[in-house]
Amino acid sequence: MSRYLDWLKEENMSLFTDFYELTMCASYFDNNKFEPATFDLFIRRLPENRSYLLFAGLEQVLRYLESVRFTEEHLAYLKTQGFNQKFLDYLRDFKFTGDVWAAPEGTVAFPCEPLIRLTAPIIEAQLVETFLLNTVNLQTMIATKASHVVNAAKGKAVIEFGLRREHGVDAGMKVARSSYIAGCHGTSNVLAGFHYGIPVFGTMAHSFIMSYENEIDAFRAFARTFPNKSTLLIDTYDDLAGAKKAVVVAKELEKQGFKLDGVRLDSGNLVELSKKVRKLLEAKGLQYVKIFASGDLDEFRIAELLDKDAKIDAFGVGTKMGTSADKPYVDVIYKLCETMTGRGKFSPMMKLSEGKTTLPGRKQVYRFKDENGNYTKDVIALLDEKAKGEPLLHKVMEKGKITISLPSLEEIRANAAENLSKLPAKYKKPTNAPAYPVELSQDLKNLIKTLKKKLLQTSQV
């Protein structure tokens, strides 16, 4: 059998990296640089039209860190790319041996707050960068986007429907996972149902209707197969004519003791159509039939539909959410914040490049809450400071081994819902939300000042 995904296996993920990670590591190796260093993974700024971040992707990061290895085949390839034998011998025995602190998946977070903090020999910490960024970028971007979509739907169900336009097979799976974490009710992706246990949903396509000579024959055929859970697509030829035929089939089902689940609108003026269809259904005593809407939906369109009182019970949201179409990436970065410079002492590091300044030192994020548990502000502080508030980062890996019991997907989803319920509503508006207060501690501010001065005075410039 011909193969097309056999390379896509965990043992190959060591090579799923930017080439420069390997060249840098080769140079670290040659120059005997094995000292520990700490890297922060964080998101530099909020994407437009998002007022907070919902962190996702940690489970895959930790499983990767625990298992990353190089095979003989990999080493043979790297040899052809100019790496020397001593370095290849080092890679043969490579294991990640560092410590990791991280926010739990489903944490509500804000720009510049470390989401993952990793301390390891610099050569190890560098080697794993690309996979970490790739994983957190996709899942946090989608969880954040989907969370804003779910907010807009005001309690009505949102189903993730974007599989056909998501970026490949891994994206198809991770979008289903991340949007479920964010509060979507389910997905159309059957493999995500099979693997993650996410509820799967689906109706029918226009081609199904068209394959029958008459629209009503298609409705009847489908209802025969799924008498208790049919949602009929009514816009192939004309929505209202389609709705009338759906009513006929619903009445036929009633006679057999079944109930039509719903009708689906996929085009046209959803506000007007949904009102007309709802009226028709009610006139025929079919109040229980749900109206399901799809077609180019996102948080703004859903808000607009509900503002205009569209009679829609559930939303199928596809491409716009599944590709985070208005901003298909987050500014996630992984930056060195300290290195050990001899005698077991760590020195804080920072970068001054224009617009890319970073926060130095090993840090913790503290969240402050009011008497009802609602979030009031965060403070990014140095680890050795005495700070109040609830720390967001927890130890999740020690010497390369996962030290926590990884939460189930349902637990992560519940954690996200709980956290989102504690974020005051004003911070959840996709546009014109006030910035949630994230402060730097006085000690951190002092350190930044001192380091800037030092960097500008010394030979670095």
**Residues between 212 and 251 that touch a second copy (CB under 8 A):** 213-215, 221-222, 224-226, 229, 235-238, 241
Contact string 54-73 vs a second copy (x = CB under 8 A): -----xx-xxx-xx-----x
Residues 380-409 that bind a second copy (CB under 8 A): 402
Q: Directed axis angle between helix 129-152 and helix 58-67, to 10°?
A: 160
Task: Give dist(CA 393, CA 113) in Å, integer.
Answer: 10
Instruction: Give the residue, chosen from 172, 183, 262, 361, that forms a contact with a second copy under the rule CB under 8 A.
Output: 172
Instruction: Give the residue, chosen from 48, 85, 155, 168, that forms a contact with a second copy under the rule CB under 8 A.
Output: 168
Instruction: Give the residue, chosen from 52, 96, 201, 375, that forms a contact with a second copy under the rule CB under 8 A.
Output: 201
Instruction: Write down the least CB distance from residue 139 to a second copy, Å.
Output: 9
Q: Is the Cβ–Cβ distance between 290 and 314 less than 8 Å?
A: yes
Residue 61 token pair: 């990061």
User: Which H or E element spans position 339?
Assistant: strand 332-340
Instruction: Give the residue, chosen from 195, 251, 308, 453, that forms a contact with a second copy under the rule CB under 8 A.
Output: 195
Task: Give dist(CA 341, CA 229) in Å, integer.
Answer: 65
Of 246 and 379, the one with the shorter C-beta distance to a second copy is 246
Of 222 and 436, the one with the shorter C-beta distance to a second copy is 222
Instruction: Write down the least CB distance from residue 235 to a second copy, Å.
Output: 6
Task: Give dist(CA 412, CA 102) in Å, integer.
Answer: 14
Nearest to 138 by CA among 33, 43, 45: 43
Residue 130 identity: T
Which residues fall within 8 angstroms of residue 134, CB to CB, at 6 or more apart?
16
Instruction: Write down the least CB distance from residue 368 to a second copy, Å.
Output: 31
Task: Give dist(CA 160, CA 180) in Å, integer.
Answer: 8
Instruction: Write down the least CB distance from residue 278 to a second copy, Å.
Output: 20
Residue 169 binds a second copy, judged by CB under 8 A: yes
Total residues in contact with a second copy, by rule CB under 8 A: 125
Instruction: Write down the least CB distance from residue 188 to a second copy, Å.
Output: 4
Which residues fall within 8 angstroms of residue 20, CB to CB, at 6 or more apart?
none
Residue 92 binds a second copy, judged by CB under 8 A: no
Residues 430-459 that bind a second copy (CB under 8 A): 455, 459
Instruction: Write down the least CB distance from residue 64 to a second copy, Å.
Output: 6
Residue 261 binds a second copy, judged by CB under 8 A: no
Instruction: Give the residue, chosen from 157, 204, 414, 423, that forms a contact with a second copy under the rule CB under 8 A.
Output: 204
C-alpha 337: how far from chain center? 25
Residue 12 binds a second copy, judged by CB under 8 A: yes
The per-residue b/e assignment along 283-321, b for 16 or more CB within 10 angstroms, e otherwise, is: ebebeebbbbbbbebbbbbbbebbeeebbbebbbbbbbb
**Hey, is 140 helix, strand or coil?**
helix
Residue 90 binds a second copy, judged by CB under 8 A: no
Residue 179 binds a second copy, judged by CB under 8 A: no
Residue 203 token pair: 């109706």
Q: Is the Cβ–Cβ distance between 219 and 245 less than 8 Å?
A: yes
Q: Is the Cβ–Cβ distance between 444 and 359 less than 8 Å?
A: yes
Instruction: Give the residue, chosen from 85, 207, 256, 457, that forms a contact with a second copy under the rule CB under 8 A.
Output: 207
Residue 45 binds a second copy, judged by CB under 8 A: no
Task: Give dist(CA 239, CA 265) in Å, integer.
Answer: 7
Contact string 311-350 vs a second copy (x = CB under 8 A): --------x---xxx-xxx--x-xxx--x-x-------x-
Identify which range of 21-29, 251-259, 415-423, 425-433 contacts a second copy by CB under 8 A: 21-29
Pairing label, strands 36-43, 99-102: unpaired
Instruction: Write down the least CB distance from residue 376 to a second copy, Å.
Output: 32
The per-residue b/e assignment along 150-168, b for 16 or more CB within 10 angstroms, e otherwise, is: bbbbeebbbbbbbbeebee
Instruction: Give the residue, chosen from 79, 190, 251, 279, that forms a contact with a second copy under the rule CB under 8 A.
Output: 190
Instruction: Give the residue, chosen from 49, 94, 200, 443, that forms a contact with a second copy under the rule CB under 8 A.
Output: 200
Residue 52 binds a second copy, judged by CB under 8 A: no
Neighbours of 439 (CB within 10 A): 14
Instruction: Give the residue, chosen from 140, 147, 189, 274, that forms a contact with a second copy under the rule CB under 8 A.
Output: 189
User: Which H or E element spans position 329?
Assistant: none
Q: Residue 200 has what DSSP assignment? A: B
Residue 9 binds a second copy, judged by CB under 8 A: yes
Instruction: Give the residue, chosen from 51, 107, 119, 137, that forms a contact with a second copy under the rule CB under 8 A.
Output: 137
Residue 6 binds a second copy, judged by CB under 8 A: yes
Residue 147 binds a second copy, judged by CB under 8 A: no
